[in-house]
Amino acid sequence: MQYIDPLTAECELCGSKNEYPLKDILEYKVACKSCMIKMTRTALTIHKEIREHNLEVWPIHFLLDALDIFKLDIDDISENEIEKMTHINDFNVVLKRHKCGQSIQMILNTPSMCKIKSEIDISKLEEYSLNELALLAYPDIKMANE
């Protein structure tokens, strides 16, 4: 997901529209050029949009990472199998069908899992849904004072 930089943003207080460097918005460093109020709601909204996007695409990244580490071709997995893949166990079923012979725990070494493996119970790995794991990878966005 990308945003135009500089980004035209509307002040949450006075409603004036001005361009601001995206980096400054994302770092909560932007104040309205008209009324000088800090535009934190604008930054928070963008962070939440980015998070929502990441939550949507995380399962796809997981699948591609897992296919790569287990040396499987995505063309060998049916669309139906992919659509039904909602839990780690569902991927493990695919591994067994393809007789990979490797432990499902190898997925912990994929880029999508490295960030969160310290937060999960390895003994229950197969029980995790991809949505649960995505939420661990991209926790809710909150302001420092919330």
pLDDT along the chain (146 residues), means of 10: 93 96 96 96 94 96 94 91 93 89 92 94 96 95 62
Q: Rounded CA gap, 17 and 37, in Å?
A: 13
Q: Rounded CA gap, 16 and 139, in Å?
A: 32
pLDDT for 1: 77
Residue extents of the structural domains in the chain:
56-137
pLDDT for 101: 82
Q: pTM value?
A: 0.82
Q: Where do we find the tokens 């960030």? A: 115
